[in-house]
Structure 1
Amino acid sequence: MIEVSSLCKSYGAAPVLHDVSLSLPRGGVTSLIGPNGAGKSTLLSLIARLIVPDSGSVTVDGLDVTRTPGPVLARRLAILRQENHLVARLTVRELVGFGRFPHSGGRLTAEDRAAIDRALDYLELAPLADRFIDQLSGGQRQRAFVAMVLAQDTDYLLLDEPLNNLDMKHAQAMMRLLASAAHDLGKTVIVVLHDINFASCHSDRIVAMRQGRIFAAGTPAEIVTPDLLGELYEMQIAVREIDGQRIALFYG
């Protein structure tokens, strides 16, 4: 379980998170939603120790992330950031291999290679394993980065807007893969999303944020309602149920 307690973060005079407390249980997919500037990516970065809080704490299975040695934490959780820039020309297999660094220290063992192969197979990238990343489509490239964090073989996967730059077909496929990783492989997936309907259809839990605070948290049925979403986004929203899934319609 991830426990966030009284977390605050500011950049200069601009507060980003205000006294955020939250429990994220093991298993399933948890989506963080909310307007731009709500603090979603900042919260994810604080959980992953990419940035340091001004006050408050984050624990992962009882381990304080600010005090836990990096190699230990990297074997517990993996993060895919919103922007991923490569400074070297890498093949898909080489990129995915970076996910094994916390285990191998850069010297791949047979166990590491097996984990890389499993990640490539799971993301259906084995036929592209020897292709360079810059030769891939946007959807294939994003799958390669997800394969890298999957190869890290952690209990927790944190992904910051993994649907960026993907069309609707590839975004749908990506969310299905993440849900499958959670339910088939026993991972806990925490993902920042802008699209409420992808969150509604593929999440077990949704955390809604607004102005650096937790606005609401619950199941998709509890969060995806006209009143709650209308207040969250300050606009008129209708909700329809289609094939058992709640779909938000924005208007006005």
Structure 2
Amino acid sequence: MIELLGVRKDHSAEVSIGPVDLRIPAGGVTALVGPNGAGKSTLLTLVGRLLGADAGAVVVGGHDVSRTPSAELAKVVSILRQENHFVTRLTVRQLVAFGRYPHSRGRLTRADEEVVSRSIDFLDLGELEHRYLDQLSGGQRQRAYVAMVLSQETEYLLLDEPLNNLDVKHSVQMMKHLRRAADELGRTVVVVLHDINFAGRYADRICAVKDGRVVEFGTPAEILTGDVLTRVFDTPVTCLEGPHGPIAVYH
């Protein structure tokens, strides 16, 4: 379970996050949605301890993130931020191997290499593992970064807008990979998404954030209603029943 207990982060006198009280159950996929600037990415980075809270506590899998040693926390939770992406003369396999650092400290064992291979195969990157990152398409490179955090073998996997700059086809493929990570590998996946319909299709739970606060939390059926989405996004929304659940239509 991920727990945020009275968490607050003050960026300035005018901009702040919280206080937030939130409990995300272990397992499955939870999507963070909301308007631009709502605080979704900030909440994610607070959970991953890339930012420190000014008040309250963040507990991940029973570990208070402010008190847990970094080496131990890196075996519990992994995070992929948009800003962390870089293109350099690394191969896919070399990049994915970075995910093993909390375990190997840079000295890869045969067991580490096996984890790297499984992560590469899980993201369907086997044919690309010896290609350099700057030789890949945007979608292939995005999968390589997800494979890197997957190889860290943490129970909790945090991803900040992994669909950014992906077309519809590659966005669908990415969400299917994340869904499989939850279902087949037992990971707890928390993902920031802009597209509410992707959240409705692939997530078990949706957390709606607005003005630095959690304003709604529930199943896709509970969140994808015209009343809720109109209130969250400040624009008229109608939800229609689709083959896989409700679909949001913006006016």
RMSD of equivalent CA atoms: 0.9
**Matched AA of 2:123:** L
TM-score when scaled to structure 1? 0.98
What's 2:142 paired with?
142
What's 2:202 paired with?
202
Indicate if the aligned counterparts of 2:95 and 2:148 stay in contact, CA closer than 8 A. yes
Cα drift, residue 16 of structure 1: 2.6
Which sits farther off after the overlay, 123-132 or 6-15?
Answer: 6-15
**Matched AA of 1:226:** G
Percent identity between the two aligned chains: 55
What's 1:167 paired with?
167
Indicate if the aligned counterparts of 1:16 and 1:38 stay in contact, CA closer than 8 A. no
Cα drift, residue 62 of structure 1: 1.6
TM-score when scaled to structure 2? 0.98
What's 1:245 paired with?
245
**Matched AA of 1:29:** V
Task: For 1:202 and 1:148, locate their aligned partners in 2 and report how far apart those are by CA, in whole Å.
Answer: 22
Q: 1:1-252 to 2 correspondence within 5 Å?
A: 1-86=1-86, 88-251=88-251
Task: For 2:112 and 2:98, locate their aligned partners in 1 and report how far apart those are by CA, in whole Å.
Answer: 10
Task: For 1:224 and 1:73, locate their aligned partners in 2 and report how far apart those are by CA, in whole Å.
Answer: 34
Q: Deviations over 1:170-214 (max 9, x none)?
A: 001100110111011100000000000000000000000100011
Indicate if the aligned counterparts of 1:31 and 1:193 stay in contact, CA closer than 8 A. yes
Indicate if the aligned counterparts of 2:88 and 2:134 stay in contact, CA closer than 8 A. no
Which sits farther off after the overlay, 241-250 or 169-178?
Answer: 241-250
Cα drift, residue 87 of structure 1: 6.8
> Alignment length, in residue pairs?
251
Indicate if the aligned counterparts of 1:97 and 1:151 stay in contact, CA closer than 8 A. yes
User: Which secondary structure does the structure 1 equivalent of 2:90 belong to?
Assistant: coil
Q: Deviations over 1:2-33 (max 9, x none)?
A: 11000111113233312101001100000000
Indicate how the Cα distance of structure 1 residues 61 and 85 shifts in structure 2: closer, same or farther if over 3 A, else same: closer
Task: For 2:218 and 2:154, locate their aligned partners in 1 and report how far apart those are by CA, in whole Å.
Answer: 25
User: Which secondary structure does the structure 2 equivalent of 1:14 belong to?
Assistant: coil
Indicate if the aligned counterparts of 1:5 and 1:57 stay in contact, CA closer than 8 A. yes
Indicate if the aligned counterparts of 2:32 and 2:206 stay in contact, CA closer than 8 A. yes
Cα drift, residue 63 of structure 1: 1.0
Task: For 2:249 and 2:12, locate their aligned partners in 1 and report how far apart those are by CA, in whole Å.
Answer: 37
**Matched AA of 1:207:** C
Q: Which runs of 5+ in 2 are unaligned?
A: none
Indicate if the aligned counterparts of 1:16 and 1:42 stay in contact, CA closer than 8 A. no
**Matched AA of 1:16:** S
